[in-house]
Structure 1
Amino acid sequence: MAKRGPDESHESVKSVQSEGNGSSVNKRYLLFKIDLFVLSFVCLQYWINYVDRVGFTNAYISGMQEALQLKDDDLNVTNTCFTVGYIIGMLPNNLLLLVIPPRIWLSFCTLSWGILTLGMSQVHTFGQCCAIRFFQALFESCTFSGTHLILGSWYKESELPIRSAIFTSSGLIGSMFSGFMQVKIYNDLNGRYGMSGWRWLFVIDFCITCPIALYGLIFFPGVPEKTTDGKNWLSMKTIIFTDQELQYARRRLPARDESLKLDWSVIPRVLKKWHWYLFSLVWVLGGENLSFASNSTFALWLHNQGYSLSHRNNYPSGIFAVGVLSTLLAAVYLSKFKRARHWHVAIFIAVAMCIVAIMIRANPLNPNVMFTAQYLGGIGYAGQAVFFAWANVVCHEDLQERAIVLASMNMFSGAVNAWWSLVFYSATTTPHFEKGCYALMATAIASGIVSVLIRKCQIRDYGKKQQLAYIDANDIIENDDEDDDEEEQQIQQVNVV
């Protein structure tokens, strides 16, 4: 359910007068600065996250397997080690973002996994791969759900779909970039200074990661809460944003109960609502809808069928390209169409994934069928932005609950994927993937059913309460545009159903 914003063509000339000094907040310029400094860092971080993450698979099919004598399901086992680390780090990372300034924690995590990526260039055994992948995941788990938590602290419901789509697309672009980069590195650096091309990939990844971590430490403003973070070492927050802009950035968001704190009371607050249960379940299913892509089955199939190294690295990029396109189209649909709802996209994804499973099961050795099905499977990536933006909207009133719900969605999805990929999508099932096809049909159908159930619960909740504009007593701004407030309340009431 995306809230429809009013015609914003007049906003460039409107401003909100601040208390006391008469200075103004230009709403359009404020949103531009939020996009420039908030969205840019989280997108760069997620982009390099996937460059580093997918780089392991690209290295595997570009010489690592033979150099380290990896066999059978070693690739799946190392991916499972990564998944376990990802699960363990998910919830603690999200809660730490409520305690430690996000610019510091996210920048530290980015630098840490960059150093571990550099360490991957020196591995010589299967055990070393597993250990480094595990600790990489501990730090990388801060990115996805943590960023959705931060986006929900800056953007209104009408603004979230596009920003969430841009963010998730940056990871898919990173996946595409990693494949192209591996081919270029292999052609130009393989054997240089006695290092194989796949080892150079990790070195180059590290060199890209470090500047992004430094950029975040200096320019990323974190969240628009009252904090002394802007006065801390190296932060540009108070230079980028005025106090009035930060006040308005908080005040323009929907109501949030400021009395709720991060303490033991958060446990019953989370458990007594349906949000945690159903959103966790729907992303367990939605995450497994991506199993053909996330387990690199296309790259394995290309390897099995004797395609060249460049083709094995480049052809799977088409899946991520489709993912980017479908994610952006879903965001445009939710933002621009008046009667659009999140569950509409969820049903479309479910149907598309069923078609993918049927095609691969019917004729997995036909290149035309496999290429079409694998690329069509990229549609499933649209679920990342849709489901997490949906959870952000539903849980906006309780910051701590929202942090736990968003982390739990990714955490439980990872927990299931840790064994799901081994059971249904192991490398030994190449090229037929019979078990994986049946598993995909099951998760696709189930995800559509759960999405409809979430929508019914959401309608029921909106029927019990009236949405109010968020006003913090410490953030009252005099001479505000009363027409804007009245217009927003009308929009909220219209979009309840």
Structure 2
Amino acid sequence: MTKTHTKGANDSFNDVINVSSCDVENENNQMNENEIEFPLKYQKSWYISNFSRIMIYKNRSIYSKDRRPWYKRLIHANDTESDQERKFIAKLDLILITWGCISYCIKSIDQSNYQNAYVSGMKEDLNMQGKDYNWLGTYYTIGYAIMLIPSQIILSKIKATYWLPGCELVWGVLTGLCAIPKSINIMFALRFLIGVTEASSWPGMITVFMNWYTPTEFATRAAVFGAAGCVGSMFIGFMQASIYTTMNGIGGLPGWRWLFVINAIMTVVTAITGFLLIPDTPENSKKNKWFKPEDLEIAKKRMIRNGRVTSKEMKLKSIYKTYLDWKFWVFALAYVPWAWTLLSFAYFNLWLESLTNDDGTPMYTTSEINMIPVGGYGISAVTMIFYSRFADLSGRKFGVLIIQELTSVVGCSILSFWPKSIGLKYFGFFILFSVQATGPIIMLLLAEVYARDTQKRAIITGSIVVLTYANNAWMPLFIWPADEAPIYHYGYKVAIGFACSSLVGIWSLFLVYVQYVPQSKEDLNRVVKHQNRIENQNRLGN
């Protein structure tokens, strides 16, 4: 068998990767590991001088120009090769995204349901004093941060099919147990354990997405998944109020205890369905009844076609090697300050509560104060999906990231000056709700830069969330102290610094991206051939 000649951008999968065992031996000396690890190292001067062009325009040499009608482009990217592949993507979305969104929505509810319970009688029944309310959130955050990286390591050893629904099942039971305590100390312990088990949710699902979705699909799916958390935040107030109103006193239990019972039932049911639905990796999902062997073959080819490895092997030395990799810190610089900036709209309701009419009466009722931020979460969900979909289909990832961070700078600048105009303050708060697409797009870049290193993908995904939560545990006490609300002396000014730091990280990440990610069809083919060469060597060795 002879090596197939590499053709244009529309070549079939087999035309691109059909490499024989003879090719393996003949070409070993022509392409070493360093050439693949640094596929575009020779372009350093080029990518610095062409930064603005890359920011604005997609390098269209990887995929052929998309001439389909706009409504078809919204559904499928241009790199799908057949109707069978498009049907597979639809099935994958129906199973994986649907369950992931429901799970994450419920996770958001279980994470914050204590807030509704607190104002619904838990404070009095448990004799909560002083900062007990704050400690309920802090213990959760501590447990969440501690378990993030161990959860990602365990995910490499145990199938996602078992680990993710299993953790959800446990935190569902723990949520139900929150209806029992008569002491706040027991509630502290339960909140800590809920944080430990919920640590698997977001990074675990993002890791699974990386094993199934291509660079033109990932950000949109991650955004839809993240938007589910916004939806949970939007409707938690409605749901909890309804449960309290209809269930208070039934069976001798106060309404706030029923809140935890109903939430627990929802969580356990979702977890059980997860055992039946969630796949692991394309290579490790043969027992999943929803995906046929031909589906798994399509999934494997899609990953190979994009130069991505999905094996689950994890070694402990990979952990410290990840932290010694300077690219990890570039991702952290781009992601973590952005996540800290999100705290800037977390205190929107405190400003609404402080507004008064000319006669000194409150401008809004308690119900209105809880309802107005719902519009902000709606903005978050819509803009997150819109920007991420645009980044997927256009390839202008860095342009979107810059727009997102500049929006943060504008919003925080308005609030740092604290103008007299109420309308301008509303504008400042609401545009800050629109910057949440940064997270999904950075995760897409992570999947592309570490396309051939599943271990670092998993560890970095967990680590940057750890850095975020570790600082969120103490930062509000100093930057957003409650006694300064709603006018914070340093809060919004510091948030501007966070947004600018993220911009520096995005610029640095751009340099990493152009150097480590194939920017042309030829470079991508080199990576794919090298990956096949290694696989053929392994087969010959066995």
- How would you bin the TM-score normalised by the shorter chain? 0.7 to 0.9
Which position in structure 1 is the counterpart of 2:238?
Answer: 180
Structure 1 range deviating more: 1-10 or 129-138: 1-10
Which position in structure 1 is the counterpart of 2:331?
Answer: 279
Which position in structure 1 is the counterpart of 2:25?
Answer: none
Report matched runs for 1:50-199 at 5 Å.
50-199=108-257
C-alpha displacement of 1:260: 9.0
Does structure 1 residue 469 correspond to structure 2 residue 519?
A: no
Structure 1 range deviating more: 345-354 or 450-459: 345-354
CA distance in 1, matches of 2:158, 2:112: 29
Is the alpha carbon distance of 1:160 and 1:137 closer, same or farther for their aligned partners in structure 2, counting shifts above 3 Å? same
8 Å Cα contact 1:120/1:202 also seen in 2: yes
Structure 1 range deviating more: 409-418 or 302-311: 302-311
State the Cα deviation string for residues 454-483 of structure 1 (Å, max 9, x = none): 11122133479933337668999xxxxxxx
SS of corresponding position for 1:154: coil
C-alpha displacement of 1:443: 0.8
CA distance in 2, matches of 1:105, 1:475: 28
Is the alpha carbon distance of 1:388 and 1:66 closer, same or farther for their aligned partners in structure 2, counting shifts above 3 Å? farther
Which position in structure 1 is the counterpart of 2:373?
Answer: 316
CA distance in 1, matches of 2:187, 2:126: 10
Question: What TM-score do you get using the length of structure 1 for normalisation?
Answer: 0.82
CA distance in 1, matches of 2:272, 2:197: 16
Match of 1:249 among 291, 299, 318: 299
Which position in structure 1 is the counterpart of 2:290?
Answer: 240
Count how many residue pairs are aligned between Structure 1 and Structure 2.
Answer: 456
Which ranges in structure 1 are unaligned for 5 or more consecutive residues? 17-23, 231-236, 477-497
Which position in structure 1 is the counterpart of 2:268?
Answer: 210
Match of 2:284 among 207, 214, 226: 226
Is the alpha carbon distance of 1:199 and 1:71 closer, same or farther for their aligned partners in structure 2, counting shifts above 3 Å? same
C-alpha displacement of 1:275: 2.6
SS of corresponding position for 1:315: helix
C-alpha displacement of 1:434: 2.9
C-alpha displacement of 1:290: 1.0
State the Cα deviation string for residues 192-230 of structure 1 (Å, max 9, x = none): 4444433332222112111110110112222212356x1
Is the alpha carbon distance of 1:421 and 1:76 closer, same or farther for their aligned partners in structure 2, counting shifts above 3 Å? farther
C-alpha displacement of 1:52: 1.3
Report matched runs for 1:374-389 at 5 Å.
374-389=429-444
8 Å Cα contact 1:85/1:135 also seen in 2: yes
CA distance in 2, matches of 1:177, 1:51: 9
SS of corresponding position for 1:225: helix
C-alpha displacement of 1:56: 2.4
8 Å Cα contact 1:282/1:451 also seen in 2: yes
C-alpha displacement of 1:68: 4.1
C-alpha displacement of 1:123: 3.8
State the Cα RMSD in Å: 3.2
Is the alpha carbon distance of 1:400 and 1:204 closer, same or farther for their aligned partners in structure 2, counting shifts above 3 Å? same
- In structure 2, give the amino acid aligned to 1:249: A
Which position in structure 1 is the counterpart of 2:13?
Answer: none
Is the alpha carbon distance of 1:93 and 1:267 closer, same or farther for their aligned partners in structure 2, counting shifts above 3 Å? closer
SS of corresponding position for 1:316: helix
Match of 1:297 among 344, 347, 350: 347
Which position in structure 2 is the counterpart of 1:421?
Answer: 476
CA distance in 2, matches of 1:43, 1:440: 29
Is the alpha carbon distance of 1:428 and 1:79 closer, same or farther for their aligned partners in structure 2, counting shifts above 3 Å? farther
Which ranges in structure 2 are unaligned for 5 or more consecutive residues? 1-54, 356-361, 537-542
Question: Rg bigger for which structure?
Answer: 2
State the Cα deviation string for residues 27-66 of structure 1 (Å, max 9, x = none): 1111111111122221111111012113223333444445
State the Cα deviation string for residues 368-396 of structure 1 (Å, max 9, x = none): 45544333221232222122222122211
Which position in structure 1 is the counterpart of 2:96?
Answer: 38
Structure 1 range deviating more: 166-175 or 347-356: 347-356
8 Å Cα contact 2:350/2:485 also seen in 1: yes
- In structure 2, give the amino acid aligned to 1:469: V
